[in-house]
Structure 1
Amino acid sequence: MLWGGSKGGLEVRTSGDGSTVLRGRFPYAIPTVLSDGRERRREVFEARAFGRSVSDGGDVHLLVHHDMNKPLASRGAGSLTLEDTDDALTFEATLAPEMRSVGYVVDFLGTLGAGLVGGISPGFRVPQGGDYVKRSGGGIMRVVRSADLIEISAVTKPAYPAAQIEARNWTPDHAVKPRTNAAQRWRA
């Protein structure tokens, strides 16, 4: 499985019943540099690259740092919804009030609120024919046309610096500034 990152937005709100709603987006058509070595490697997702996964209704999880032992929400549990548009893959997750007493959720919400979580990163598989590689700008560019979405993660350092994470409360002007980095790498 591969991971890509994004600085789409991650918005966090807590409702009156104590549930926490997370909203985020992974934007399409924004290339990123995965390796700036001797031969520069870049990657870009075409519009609706995750369309098949979204429309088939299969289970997808929202995780903390790509760790299947740290789920926040899932389609199977009815706590995660996905939408695939020409601009971005967007999601909305609802964390039940009971989740606020789970250790890793407390840690995640604390690091998010402190601005230490920096992006959104999808975990995916590319089926045969779902991508192609071309020479571009002194290196190679991998174009992902279609990918099977396995999970979406909130991560510290996403591979896609054009995306950002923000945390918002119900009170205005409580936004966390994003941190950018290309830590997660595409492997050829």
Structure 2
Amino acid sequence: MRSEERRTLGLTEAGVELRADGDAQRFAGLAAVYGVRAAIGDPKGWGFFEEFAPGAATRTLAEFDQRMLIDHDTYYLVSRVSAGDLTLTETSRGVEVDSDLDEELSYVRDLRRNVEKRRITGMSIGFYVAAGGAEWQEIEVEEPRADGKVEVYQADLRLIREIELLEVSAVTFPAFPTTEADLRHGALPALRARGDYAAVARRAEHGGEYQAQWRELLKQMERPADPAPDRRHRDHIDRVMRGYQARYRSLGNPAR
């Protein structure tokens, strides 16, 4: 079962602003960014790094009917592609947003005012990863430490090549405000889609206070079957025989 995922951009990346449109104003921003590596959770423990590849939204923007919301709440519908008041454009930077602001709606007037006062500064997307649209790689990461040295560690990178974009949102919090939200909307859906039981079990060891969520995910996944008994027996015999062969070669070699 697929789960919707969410990713957010803060003030610097999203570039949320109001643009003049005659006597009215329009909302503009960047909802998703390409070619930038971001941490989802703690990459040293239960998280990973993630990057959207250029072109990840090409197909979805041509085929889907996206909406613009406030804080991912479907009640606060600002605009819609098929209604002609929302334009999503894919550029080299990512997915650019240009939306009408219908001030007949009280919450849209609130949105405009909150953007003016810089109370709302971020953007987010709700999406599915398309079938076969992501690949996982192991990468080496260099991280500067407070003592001036560099720590090197191994981490996973999830490279997303194709998404199914559901909606874009203007958001109050330009990043996940809690670890639980990061887990629920970031790591768990991604790892469920990955379908690697061992990868999830390894991260569950770092789950801390959220062990219940990790256990629930593991229950939803198929645990790899143990090798059949006869296969385990053959493997054991093979290891024993290789040990004997190595020992007797050593005893029979006068140079040792």
Q: What TM-score do you get using the length of structure 2 for normalisation? A: 0.58
Between the aligned partners of 1:31 and 1:120, the Cα distance in structure 2 is 17
Indicate whether 1:12 and 2:36 are aligned: no
Query: 1:24·1:90 contact (CA, 8 Å) conserved in 2?
Result: yes
1:118 alignment partner in structure 2:
121
Superposed CA offset, 1:51-96 (max 9, x none)? 101122x31111101111111111111001121123211121112x
2:98 alignment partner in structure 1:
92
Indicate whether 1:130 and 2:146 are aligned: no
Letter of the 1:30 counterpart: V
Matches within 5 A, 1:67-86: 67-86=73-92
2:151 alignment partner in structure 1:
none
2:108 alignment partner in structure 1:
105
1:41 alignment partner in structure 2:
48
Out of 38, 47, 67, the residue aligned to residue 61 of structure 1 is 67
2:58 alignment partner in structure 1:
51
Between the aligned partners of 1:74 and 1:105, the Cα distance in structure 2 is 13
Higher strand share: 1
List alignment gaps of at least 5 residues for structure 2. 142-153, 192-256
User: 123-132 vs 34-43, which deviates more?
Assistant: 34-43
Higher helix share: 2
Q: Give the SS at the match of 2:83.
A: coil
List alignment gaps of at least 5 residues for structure 1. 161-179
Indicate whether 1:140 and 2:131 are aligned: no
Between the aligned partners of 2:122 and 2:20, the Cα distance in structure 1 is 20
- % of aligned pairs identical? 27
Between the aligned partners of 1:144 and 1:61, the Cα distance in structure 2 is 21
Q: CA deviation at 1:17?
A: 3.4
Letter of the 1:52 counterpart: R
Letter of the 2:67 counterpart: H
Higher relative contact order (CA 8 A, sep 6+): 1
Q: Give the SS at the match of 2:18.
A: strand
Aligned residues between the structures: 164
Query: 2:125·2:166 contact (CA, 8 Å) conserved in 1?
Result: yes
Letter of the 1:45 counterpart: F
Letter of the 1:93 counterpart: S
Query: 2:17·2:115 contact (CA, 8 Å) conserved in 1?
Result: no
Larger gyration radius, structure 1 or structure 2: 2
Q: Give the SS at the match of 2:14.
A: coil
Q: CA deviation at 1:15?
A: 3.2
Query: 2:52·2:161 contact (CA, 8 Å) conserved in 1?
Result: yes
Indicate whether 1:21 and 2:26 are aligned: yes
